[in-house]
Structures are given as structure tokens and as C-alpha cells.
Amino acid sequence: MPDFLDRFAQTNSKGEKEFSTVRSGLIVSLISIGTLMGALIAAPVADRIGRKYSISGWTWVIAIGFVIQISSETDWVQIMMGRWVAGLGVGALSLLVPMFQGETAPPWIRGAMVCCYQLFIVSDKILGMPSFYAPTICGEAVKDCTDIWLRRWVSSWLRASTTAL
């Protein structure tokens, strides 16, 4: 995305904006590091203060991470740290929500509830993909290339469905 490059990328020797491998690696990977840390921290916290309160608290952590990222004007370190904070919440909730569902659901629907949790995560990724790929494939002329991203979305949906079967 051109605006993101203008704000957060470095200028190379040719005068073009680009991300160094270190900068792009840090921005991309810190959400995964935060997710790992959040998942490891969440269980002892939930044991101490309870599942419901812990889930509510980690939801606020995600919101704070989003605010940190959104409020960044030109500082890539702020984007990076916002992704790390949001990753803490994502990792914690990825652990706590299925745990809470498994502990509170009646036995006859317990497995279905936890499976639906995972199904909705995968469905969200599949449904959200067109909003990511449309601008990157088509540039500013999104209306002209609806068929391109729709074909990619349908093909990814078919791949995911075949894998699930």
C-alpha cells in the first residue's frame, strides 16, 4: 500500500521507499511473539482471577494494541509494539476462550462449541481475504478487477474446503 510505504518505509539510495528485511520482519513477527507470550501468561492469570474476568481483561489488551497501531503517524516502532501488544491479547484469548467454553458448556454440546470456535476463526480468514487482496492486486482500480479477487477467494475457499474434508 503506497500510503503505508510513505509513512513507515525507509528511503533507499535510489530515492524509493522500501522496507528493509529487518524492519518488515520485526513488524510481521512481533504479533506472533506476542501471541506466544500471551498464551503462556494467560493460564496462570486466569487461574488466579477467573476465566471471565481474564477474558475481559485480555480483550482490553487487544484494544490497547489496536489503539497503539492506529495512533501511529510515521513511527514504525509504534506499529511494531502495537502489534506485539495486540498479539499478547490474541494469544491469551486463543487459549482462554476454548478453555472457558470447554469448562462451562453442557457435555452434549461441548465439542461442537469448541469446534465452532475454530470454524469461525478459519471462516473469518477466508472471508477477510478479498479485502486484503483486492487493493494489492488491483491498485486503486478495485472496481475493474472484481473478478480477479473473486476468483482467488473462491479458489482459496475450495482449497480450504477440500483440506477440511
Instruction: Pick the more confident residue, 163 or 22.
Output: 22
- How is residue 48 written as a grid cell? 488466579
- Closest listed residue to residue 76, CA positions, set 10, 132, 13, 3: 10
Domain count, the chain: 2
Say yes or no: 47 and 117 in one domain.
no
Say yes or no: 46 and 114 in one domain.
no
Q: Is the per-residue pLDDT at 158 higher than 70?
A: no
In this predicted model, what pLDDT tens digit does every residue of 128-141 receive, in sequence order? 666 666 665 555 55
Say yes or no: 88 and 114 in one domain.
no
- How is residue 127 written as a grid cell? 472471508
Give 45's contacts (C-beta < 8 A, 6+ positions apart): 54, 57, 92
Mean pLDDT on 41-49: 94
Say yes or no: 39 and 117 in one domain.
no
Angstrom CA distances, 97 to 37, 72, 150, stand at 16, 30, 32
Say yes or no: 8 and 55 in one domain.
yes
Say yes or no: 141 and 158 in one domain.
yes
Say yes or no: 40 and 85 in one domain.
yes
Residue-level pLDDT at 162: 60
- Closest listed residue to residue 24, CA positions, set 6, 1, 13, 8: 8
Instruction: Pick the more confident residue, 22 or 64.
Output: 64
| Per-residue confidence band for 68, with pLDDT thresholds at 50, 70 and 90 | very high
In this predicted model, what pLDDT tens digit does every residue of 80-93 receive, in sequence order? 999 999 999 999 99
Which among 104, 126, 146 is the end of a domain?
Answer: 104
d(CA 16, CA 43) in angstroms, rounded, equals 46
Phi/psi zone of residue 36: left (φ > 0), alpha (ψ -120 to 50 degrees), beta? alpha
Asked if 27 contacts 10 with a C-beta cutoff of 8 angstroms, the reply is: no
Say yes or no: 10 and 85 in one domain.
yes
Say yes or no: 96 and 61 in one domain.
yes
Domain of residue 44, residue span: 1-104
Average the pLDDT over each of 41-50, 97-106, 136-145, 152-161 and give the range with the smallest value.
Answer: 136-145
Instruction: Pick the more confident residue, 37 or 149.
Output: 37
